[in-house]
Amino acid sequence: MAYFEPATQTEEMIALAWKLEDGSRKFYGEMVKREKDQEAINLFQELSKDEERHQSSLEEIFKRQTGKEPDSRFFDSLLAAKPGEDYLEGGIRLVQALEWLEGKKLQDVLELAVSLEADAIDLYIKMERKAERQDSKEVFQALSNQEAIHLDRLGTFREKI
């Protein structure tokens, strides 16, 4: 969250979470294109789809709370981020993460992904505590639980290889 103005309103927290989920979805999608190991490709595809589902959950809670129909431009407008700039769940710019990964081994990709998922868990726990409405708290709690599953899957795969 350090890369953004502090998100204090639930609406802003939902926008921030959506933006970070979008960046992580793109990150995993890019890993699908770059990776050669089929098992890793399958894992990254599943994680990318999960991030998309997380975005849908956030969109639904946003609609229920505000009555507004969100899109990526709308979420950008709620944040102090540059429009069109993608961030990962750890607050890292997507383009920087992809540049850093150039020429790196699968183990390095997995270590970065593990750290991003751990950061996401922490972020969603903080958002859950800050959220005022119970339905928002439940969404952030569910997201932190789902990110913990991602963390476990990535850790298990990392140990396997």
Residue 4 lies inside a defined structural domain of this protein: no
78 pLDDT tier (thresholds 50, 70, 90): low
Which comes out higher in pLDDT, residue 76 or 129? 129
Query: How many domains is the chain partitioned into structurally?
Result: 1
DSSP-derived 3-state class of residue 84: coil
Domain range holding 123? 10-160
**pLDDT score recorded for residue 83:** 65
pLDDT over 60 (residue 5): no
- Domain CATH for 95: 1.20.1260.10
Environment class of residue 89 by beta-carbon count within 10 Å: exposed (0-12), middle (13-18) or buried (19+)?
buried
Residue 56 lies inside a defined structural domain of this protein: yes
pLDDT over 60 (residue 43): yes
Residue 93 lies inside a defined structural domain of this protein: yes
What is the spatial distance between Cα 139 and Cα 16, in angstroms, rounded to a whole number? Answer: 14
